[in-house]
């Protein structure tokens, strides 16, 4: 099936896992005539060029976005606004700017005043990824069958919205349109909280080994098996990226941490009082919900 979306020049600012994977899919489906990779680190840009993720590279934002009809900003969320600000004066009339970040409400507030009427901003978030980062982590087909949440506002250009929607559908995503605030609340629960917990769990176990009885340190992490490693896999994600997400979505994340603490306190009390019926009830509810989730995906 032929694509109904096509770009002459795409500027990809940030050639990492998400940006690089999108570029690979766009190339595979002939969605763009030219993709220019823009970034700070020459080594990563050279990797992207060697792997065929992009057609050319530059460390100069102005040079990279010149003449582009699509600019994809795939940098950590806390840096998106400053990148767009640096690019704004060099964008062609009719250019569409989009992002891939997992926080939207604050980002939209920051970015909207930076762009003139001749340029459209369409916020988007592909809900996909791995714990790896950099151009070398890019994967063809990463977005196939995954949700991509688009969060337009009342001022979003409808033609640009349709174009970005079609772009994500062309690479296999299911596009969901959502209010920015709702997006941030949902992602704080299903993505941001799990990452915070994974980081905290690794540190908790590491610290517990240093407080062993008799003052003798034990490397508890060295005894971890499949369950612990599966559960904490996402703690290998980029600390810079996840610190930025915690900053950008702090209110919603703190609310979810508090909700998790309430749930954990109830389970702790049940275990302390040896109320195993309550413990089993909690586990059974969670197992049923998890099993249903797996069946539906």
Domain boundaries, the chain: 7-178, 182-295
Cβ neighbors of 7 (< 8 A, separation 6 or more) are: 26, 31, 32, 33, 68, 69, 70
Q: What is the pLDDT of residue 129?
A: 86
Average pLDDT, 10 consecutive residues per value, the chain (297 residues)? 85 98 98 98 97 98 98 96 98 98 97 96 95 94 97 96 98 98 98 98 91 71 92 93 95 98 98 98 97 89
How buried is 176 (Cβ within 10 angstroms: 0-12 exposed, 13-18 middle, 19+ buried)? middle
Q: 85 near 114, Cβ under 8 Å?
A: yes
Fold of 7-178: Rossmann fold (3.40.50)
Q: 84 near 66, Cβ under 8 Å?
A: no
Q: 53 near 22, Cβ under 8 Å?
A: no
Q: How far apart are alpha carbons 155 and 142 in whole angstroms?
A: 30
Q: What is the pLDDT of residue 2?
A: 57
Q: How far apart are alpha carbons 234 and 102 in whole angstroms?
A: 15
Q: What is the pLDDT of residue 130?
A: 86
By C-alpha distance, which of 124, 136, 77, 70 is closest to 97?
70
Angle (CA) 275 279 281, round 5°: 115
Strands (E), 115-206: 120-122, 124-126, 147-150, 174-177
Query: Could you tell me whether strands 7-13 and 32-38 are parallel, antiparallel, or unpaired per DSSP bridges?
Result: parallel
Q: How far apart are alpha carbons 97 and 64 in whole angstroms?
A: 13
182-295 — its CATH code? 1.10.3660.10
Distances (CA, A) of 272 to 107, 261, 263, 277, 281: 44, 16, 14, 13, 16
By C-alpha distance, which of 175, 149, 141 is closest to 23?
141
Q: SS3 for 1?
A: coil
- Locate 191 and state its tokens: 């993505």
- Locate 29 and state its tokens: 């489906």
Q: What is the pLDDT of residue 211?
A: 66
Kindly report the pTM of this predicted structure: 0.90
Distances (CA, A) of 94 to 7, 107, 160: 12, 21, 9
Beta bridge mates, 82:
none
Q: What is the pLDDT of residue 170?
A: 98
Cα Rg, the chain, nearest whole Å: 22
The edge-to-edge listing of strands for the beta sheet with 124-126 is 124-126, 147-150, 174-177
Same fold, 7-178 and 182-295: no
Query: Could you tell me how many residues make up the chain?
Result: 297
Q: 150 near 164, Cβ under 8 Å?
A: yes
Neighbour count for residue 127 (Cβ, 10 Å): 18
């Amino acid at each position: 099936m032929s694509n109904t979306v096509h770009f002459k020049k795409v500027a990809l600012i940030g050639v990492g896992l998400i940006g690089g994977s999108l570029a690979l899919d766009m190339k595979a489906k002939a969605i763009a005539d030219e993709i220019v990779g823009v970034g700070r680190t020459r080594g990563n840009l050279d990797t992207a060029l060697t792997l065929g993720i992009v057609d050319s590279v530059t460390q100069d934002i102005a040079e990279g976005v010149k003449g582009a009809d699509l600019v994809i900003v795939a940098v950590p969320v806390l840096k998106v606004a400053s990148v767009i600000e640096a690019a704004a004066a060099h964008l062609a009339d009719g250019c569409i700017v989009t992002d891939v970040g997992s926080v939207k409400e604050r980002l939209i507030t920051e970015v909207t005043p930076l762009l003139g009427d001749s340029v459209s901003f369409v916020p988007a978030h592909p809900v996909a990824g791995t714990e790896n980062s950099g151009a070398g982590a890019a994967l063809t087909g990463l977005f196939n069958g995954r949700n991509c949440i688009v969060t337009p506002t009342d001022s979003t250009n409808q033609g640009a919205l349709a174009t970005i929607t079609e772009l994500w559908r062309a690479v296999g995503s299911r596009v969901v349109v959502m209010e920015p605030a709702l997006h941030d609340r949902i992602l704080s629960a299903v993505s941001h909280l799990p990452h915070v917990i994974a980081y905290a769990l690794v540190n908790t176990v590491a610290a517990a080994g240093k407080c062993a009885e008799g003052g003798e340190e034990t490397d508890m992490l060295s005894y971890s098996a499949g369950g612990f490693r599966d559960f904490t896999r996402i703690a290998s994600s980029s600390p810079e990226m996840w610190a930025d997400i915690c900053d950008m979505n702090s209110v919603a994340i703190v609310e979810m941490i508090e909700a998790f603490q309430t749930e954990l306190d109830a389970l702790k009390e049940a275990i302390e009082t040896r109320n195993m019926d309550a413990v089993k009830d909690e586990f059974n509810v969670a197992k049923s919900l998890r099993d249903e989730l797996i069946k539906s995906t």
